[in-house]
Structure formats: C-alpha cells, structure tokens
C-alpha cells in the first residue's frame, strides 16, 4: 500500500489521533523560534490541520500543504478560521507552492521526513531552503524507532539529516531528541531547528 493510500483509507482515525495533541505543548521545544504575529508560514504535511489552525490562531498567514485529499477535506471542514490556505502538493519538489513565488518566515515539516525517499532528500532540502526568506526558520521532526508496516517509510537518522542541512548552508539552531507524545514507547523523535542565513 502506498503512503497516500494508507492515509486516505485511515483519514478519520488518524485525524482524531492528531487532534488529541495540544500543539502549544507539542511544539514547545521550538516555540522560541516562532516569528512574531503576521508571519507567512508553510506547514508541509498538514494532516488534520491542527498545527495550521494553531499557527493561524497566533496571527500568522498559513499555507497548509497536504497531499491526501481525504485529510485535506476533513481539515478544511474542521478548521474553518481565516488565515489558512489549503494546497494539494508534496515533497520533494512542492511544485504548486514554488510556483506561487512566496517566501516563508517559518516552514514546519512535522512527522513527514520519514516519507521522503533517501534519493529525494537532497531535492527536498533544496526546495525547502529555496522557500525560506533570508533569516527564516525551518523546523523538522525526524522519526526514531521501527518503521511501520503498511505505509512507505524510510529511516531518517538525525546525523544524516544534520549533515545534509550543513551541506546546503543551513545553520543548526537546535537539535534535540524528544519522546513520542502519543505514548508509543518504541517511537521517539528528533527535533531539528534550522535557519537560512541572511547573507
């Protein structure tokens, strides 16, 4: 089963699970890097819309990217507040977002990188860097632990990701192992905060 098929067939249950988590608590590890209100934010792999709604509620203009149509439709119904624009797009190229020509003050890639194939990760990091405004921040969470049967996943060791980020000129602001907030003992995450230099 492809990753997109998995999310389509399990959209309702996955959305309910995602919505149980409080984004303010979930993202407190990088909250200090959040721009002031009025920033333009890209949420890649927006899922149920939980994080997009949180960011919009803080006064940001959010472009929420979600390739799974079932999740995207449900998120649009659940989170109707202004400030969120939903886009059908996907890494590594984010063609629709890139075609819009916007630069973002913050890009969030939460629980997505494990779905990007290793041979596509260089293109993905180039795409994300290209969408960052000078001085802007990229937040990525990397899954640690066993891969899940039934959907496409790839290992994403923090060391490899950090090396990729450095080679593309991104500055590492924070690198931190974190527990799984859904209580899965075998799963953990690694939070990485990167910044595009202003020069």
Residue 73 CB partners (closer than 8 Å, separation 6+):
none
Task: Note the pTM of the prediction, 2 decimals.
Answer: 0.92
Q: What's the CA gap between 112 and 140, in Å, rounded?
A: 8
pLDDT of residue 1: 45
- Cα dist. 103→61, 97, 148 in Å? 12, 10, 34
Q: Are 161 and 124 in contact (CB under 8 A)?
A: no
Reduce the DSSP state of residue 128 to 3 states and report it.
helix
Q: Consecutive sets of 10 residues in the chain, 199 residues long: mean pLDDT of each?
A: 62 70 93 93 96 96 95 90 94 98 98 96 98 98 86 92 98 95 88 95
Give the H/E segment covering residue 144: strand 132-144
Q: What's the CA gap between 55 and 84, in Å, rounded?
A: 9
pLDDT digits (tens, 9 = 90+) for 134-173: 999 999 999 999 887 777 899 999 999 999 999 999 999 9
Q: Is the peptide bond before 21 cis (omega within 30 degrees of 0)?
A: no
């Amino acid at each position: 089963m492809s990753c997109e098929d998995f999310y389509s067939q399990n959209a309702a249950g996955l959305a309910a699970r995602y919505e149980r988590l409080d984004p303010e608590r979930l993202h407190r590890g990088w909250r200090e890097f959040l721009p002031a209100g009025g920033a333009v934010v890209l949420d890649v792999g927006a899922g149920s819309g939980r994080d997009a709604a949180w960011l919009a509620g803080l006064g940001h203009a959010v472009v929420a990217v979600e390739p799974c149509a079932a999740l995207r439709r449900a998120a649009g119904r659940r989170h109707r507040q202004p400030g969120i624009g939903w886009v059908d797009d996907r890494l590594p190229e984010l063609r629709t977002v890139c075609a819009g020509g916007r630069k973002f003050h913050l890009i969030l890639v939460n629980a997505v990188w494990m779905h990007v194939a290793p041979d596509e990760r260089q293109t993905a990091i180039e795409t994300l860097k290209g969408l960052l405004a000078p001085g802007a921040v990229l937040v990525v969470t990397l899954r640690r632990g066993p891969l899940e049967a039934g959907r496409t996943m790839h290992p994403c060791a923090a060391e490899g990701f950090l090396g990729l980020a450095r080679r593309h000129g991104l500055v590492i602001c924070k690198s931190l192992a974190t527990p799984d907030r859904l209580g899965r003992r075998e799963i953990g995450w690694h939070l990485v905060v990167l910044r595009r230099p202003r020069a």
